[in-house]
């Protein structure tokens, strides 16, 4: 995956999140401890949105509709 992303970036594709953040999720949870993987339709693709954690944005970044839906479902479920 890393090689593919480097190749795409070298070909001029915009890749999000920035390189050092691509596998940020594994800084929080080591690969060996992952128990669930949630797949979304597509990654955040706006400048400043993606930072390596799915369905997450950094403070100060407007909350995308998909994340608002997740918040709504959590609230409705509780």
- pLDDT tens for each residue of 13-52: 988 888 888 888 888 898 899 988 877 777 787 788 888 8
Strand runs (DSSP E) across 1-78, as ranges? none
CB-CB contact of 75 with 64 (8 Å)? no
Residues noted as catalytic: 42
Q: What is this structure's pTM?
A: 0.63
What is the helix (H) or strand (E) element at residue 3, kind and residue range?
Answer: helix 2-10
What is the model's pLDDT at position 20? 85
Q: Could you tell me which of 56, 60, 50, 57 has the C-alpha nearest to residue 18?
A: 50
């Amino acid at each position: 995956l890393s090689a593919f992303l480097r190749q795409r970036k070298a070909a001029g594709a915009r890749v999000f999140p920035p390189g050092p953040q691509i596998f940020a999720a594994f800084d929080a949870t080591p690969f060996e401890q992952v128990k669930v993987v949630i797949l979304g339709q597509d990654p955040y693709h706006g400048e400043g949105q993606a930072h390596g954690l799915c369905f997450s944005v950094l403070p100060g970044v407007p909350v995308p509709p998909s994340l608002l839906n997740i918040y709504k479902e959590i609230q409705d479920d509780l």
